[in-house]
Amino acid sequence: MSTEQCDFLIIGAGIAGASAAARLAEHGSVVLLERESQPGYHATGRSAATWEPSYGPHSVRKLILASEKFLRNPPDGYGDGASFLSPRGFMATFRADQKEEMEQEFEDIRPTSPDVRILNQQESLDRVPILDPAYVSASLYSDLAQDIDVHRLHQSYLQIIKTNGGTLTVNADVTAISRCAAGGDWFVETPKVGSFCAPILVNAGGAWCDEIAQLAGIDAIGLEPRRRNAVLIPGPEDYDVSDWPMLGGSDPGFYFKPDAGRLMVSPEDAIPSPPCDARPDEMDIAIAIDRFETATTMTVRRPEHSWAGLRSFVADEMLVAGFDPDPTNSGFFWLTGQGGFGIETSPAISLIASCMIRGLEFPQIVADFGLDATDLAPGRLMES
């Protein structure tokens, strides 16, 4: 089989690889390699599809905020120009014994959700009438959280690659990575679709990023995939759920949100797992339903569909974007650690990756939110 040469070779066509490939395709030849027969099969196709500016560590929130403008007003060529966001809102519920926790959370989210307000029990029930008064005592509410049209966003990244002459190659399971010559181009082999050669190799393989690095003889960065389960249940017969906010509770954690007339429920679990095609666990789905039933007056008789996906984190739970710090690995770029925020951060992190890969300054529109390259550098995870 022949060897295809390009400027930028990217492994993994989830949201991380697709968004970086779209940015790079405007500046050189791009090949995006995906092991599955369709892109988005793993974490990207299994998310809760939410943009929430007060979610995750504070450093991640900066990337979420830096992505908002792109998602709200997509640049020319991305989709049909319509926003990828639509209003949802977020409500964090608290029991009577969680007053202190609610006060702490209020202070924690106020900088990124300045509209946050406290709803008393009745106001909480007015907003989501299935809540059980025996469970909820008060809640925090913000209008800022949005639904993301993940499929359209992912497809628009893939379309930009095509428009700029790049290619997406599916069934491309990368099984060997070497150098053409010492310090030369990266040489990547797949059993079914041939081999590829490029000076820049982007490792955007989601849960598999450490395994991909090891194929290239590069040290792992300690990525930990964690499985999260979710289940779709019928909405209540008496209410139209479409304008309900996403709703969460803690200790034990759970969340639910409207999804086309139904409710998506998750136990907010994070169970360490090897990289794999994650499957829902019956016991974890039962836990999700139990937590939902505890917080509401509903009884779930017929769950419709359940699934699980891997959210992959590094030690500090911030994303990773940068060249491997070992000079013998020049041209090997890490794009990983998307955790539970890979969709909502994809505009900012892909712009950062594209600038770094092309040797440009850290993008000012992200720096304006208080981030720089050191916050994302893979080297921060390798210092012992």
Ligand X SMILES: Cc1cc2nc3c(=O)[nH]c(=O)nc-3n(C[C@H](O)[C@H](O)[C@H](O)COP(=O)(O)OP(=O)(O)OC[C@H]3O[C@@H](n4cnc5c(N)ncnc54)[C@H](O)[C@@H]3O)c2cc1C
Binding mask 241-270 for ligand X (x = CB under 6 A): -------------------------x----
Binding status of residue 46 toward ligand X by CB under 6 A? yes
Residues 157-177 as b/e (b if ≥16 CB within 10 A, e otherwise) read bbbbbeebebebbbebebeeb
* Rounded Cα gap, residues 265 and 257, in angstroms: 7
Helix (H, G, I), strand (E, B) or coil at 356: helix
Q: How far is CA 317 from CA 23, 58, 99, 342, in A?
A: 24, 10, 27, 12
Determine the interface stretch with ligand X among 38-46, 92-100, 216-224, 297-305 (rule: CB under 6 A): 38-46
Which listed residue (339, 351, 352, 357) binds ligand X by CB under 6 A? Answer: 339
Identify the DSSP state of 361.
P
Tokens 């969340």, residue located: 255
Which listed residue (343, 348, 353, 366) binds ligand X by CB under 6 A? Answer: 343
Binding status of residue 206 toward ligand X by CB under 6 A? yes
What are the respective helix, strand and coil percentages of the chain, to the nearest 5?
30, 25, 45
Tokens 């820049």, residue located: 200
Binding status of residue 33 toward ligand X by CB under 6 A? yes
Instruction: Give the nearest distance from C-beta 53 to ligand X in angstroms.
Output: 11
Which listed residue (340, 353, 366, 375) binds ligand X by CB under 6 A? Answer: 340
Which listed residue (311, 320, 329, 381) binds ligand X by CB under 6 A? Answer: 311
* Rounded Cα gap, residues 141 and 193, in angstroms: 50
Determine the interface stretch with ligand X among 122-130, 133-141, 202-210, 295-303 (rule: CB under 6 A): 202-210
Instruction: Give the nearest distance from C-beta 138 to ligand X in angstroms.
Output: 24
* Rounded Cα gap, residues 368 and 179, in angstroms: 38
**The token pair that represents 14 in the structure block:** 């989830």
Binding status of residue 232 toward ligand X by CB under 6 A? no
The Cβ of residue 138 has, within 10 Å, a number of other Cβ atoms equal to 20
Binding status of residue 16 toward ligand X by CB under 6 A? yes
Nearer to ligand X (CB atom), residue 102 or residue 212: 212
**The token pair that represents 341 in the structure block:** 């925020």
Which listed residue (36, 108, 219, 293) binds ligand X by CB under 6 A? Answer: 36
Residues that bind ligand X (CB under 6 A): 11-17, 33-36, 41-44, 46-50, 172-174, 204-208, 212, 228, 230, 266, 309, 311, 338-344
